[in-house]
A and B are shown apart, each in its own frame.
Chain A
Amino acid sequence: GAVVSQHPSWVICKSGTSVKIECRSLDFQATTMFWYRQFPKQSLMLMATSNEGSKATYEQGVEKDKFLINHASLTLSTLTVTSAHPEDSSFYICSARGFSGQANTGELFFGEGSRLTVL
């Protein structure tokens, strides 16, 4: 079945530094990927929709200059948390919609998630 790989699975960084998280679709092309954030004991929240070759669409309340999303190829989207602060510590996870031929199957495949801790 389709696989989405996310890297790194966990990262610890100092306040003020930037962290890049990668999301790759391993055996299919993903024109659209999604980035979510989950704080402890809370629901997943959609942060942004990453579109290959164009700008990402951010959800209300998500700072696009802080959470930079790049979707330069059909198999890779990256999320960069810039100037990270302790309140950015969270679980970040990506997903991609499955494709069969040219058709969007509607299925969702999730990365393993990245746990970010900002000291």
Chain B
Amino acid sequence: KNEVEQSPQNLTAQEGEFITINCSYSVGISALHWLQQHPGGGIVSLFMLSSGKKKHGRLIATINIQEKHSSLHITASHPRDSAVYICADATDKLIFGTGTRLQVFP
């Protein structure tokens, strides 16, 4: 079974800062999801990627298949980015990371 780990577990930042959240996994995958879970519980899928890099607005996700590692970057962070960010192995069934709780202060 794939072990999906995230770091850091908790992250605080000042508005405008560049944020990086890391995800590593133990077994090779074919696809990885980055999800955003808001305080109320609702979940939004941010990215699904299997190689390289994807960008959407201020969010950038990268994956290095050889190193079994993915990163989610947020540029010019804003308080509304405060949420839990979760990576998940999407090769077969979803295996979720433990999540990173981000708080961005004005």
List residues of chain A with CB under 8 Å of any chain B CB: 34, 36, 38, 43-46, 49, 59, 91, 93, 95, 106-110, 112-113, 115
B98 with A107: CB separation less than 8 A: no
Q: How many A-B residue pairs have CB under 8 A?
A: 48
Count of B residues near A, CB < 8 Å? Answer: 20
Task: Beyond A44-B88, A93-B41, A108-B45, list 20 extra A-B contacts (CB 8 Å).
Answer: A34-B93, A34-B94, A38-B41, A43-B86, A44-B43, A44-B86, A44-B94, A49-B93, A91-B41, A106-B31, A106-B48, A108-B33, A108-B35, A108-B90, A108-B94, A110-B42, A112-B42, A113-B42, A113-B43, A115-B41
Q: Is B44 an interface residue (CB 8 A)?
A: yes
Instruction: Enumerate chain A residues within 8 angstroms of B93, measured Cβ to Cβ.
Output: 34, 46, 49, 59
B 69-106 to A, binary, CB cutoff 8 A, 1 in contact else 0:
00000000000000000101010011111110000000
A104 to chain B, nearest CB (A): 11
